[in-house]
Amino acid sequence: MSDIALSTTVTVKNSKGLHLRPADALVQKAQEFSASIAFVRDGDRFDAKSVLEIMTLGAAQGTELQLEAQGEDAEQALQELAAMFDCGFDENEP
């Protein structure tokens, strides 16, 4: 495991926020990587591989989160998870 932690800032763009469906999709994607992945909000860390911890974030539309990853595939994990935020979790909204 790489000792270097990588991070990026993501913003919740969809109007319903980080509800159960996108939280589950994030967990499914995060579990594809061996890297340790977490969201950081107000100094608290939330395991990105736990739907319960992601739901605890209570992240509404416009919320900025720090996404951190550490491990061999950390860079790829950050890119793919950040892309999910960028596309609003593919939720079609009027």
Whichever domain contains 40, its CATH number is 3.30.1340.10
pLDDT of residue 41: 95
Considering only CA atoms, which of 21, 47, 51, 52 is closest in space to residue 35?
Answer: 47
Task: Identify the pLDDT of residue 48.
Answer: 98
E strands of 1-94, at which residues? 5-11, 36-41, 44-47, 64-70
What pLDDT is recorded for position 18? 95
Total of domains in the chain: 1
Average pLDDT, 10 consecutive residues per value, the chain (94 residues): 85 94 97 98 96 96 97 97 95 65
pTM of the model as a whole: 0.92
Which residue of the set 6, 7, 16, 19 is catalytic?
Answer: 19
- Residue 38: which domain range? 5-90
Q: Among this protein's residues, is 19 annotated catalytic?
A: yes
Helices and strands (H, E) in the chain, number of each type:
3, 4
pLDDT on residue 10: 98
* The pLDDT of residue 93: 59
Give the pair of three-digit tokens for residue 83.
């892309």
Q: Which 8-state DSSP code applies to residue 18? A: S
Cα(89)–Cα(9) distance, integer angstroms: 16
Of 38, 36, 41, 23, whose CA–CA distance to 85 is shortest? 23
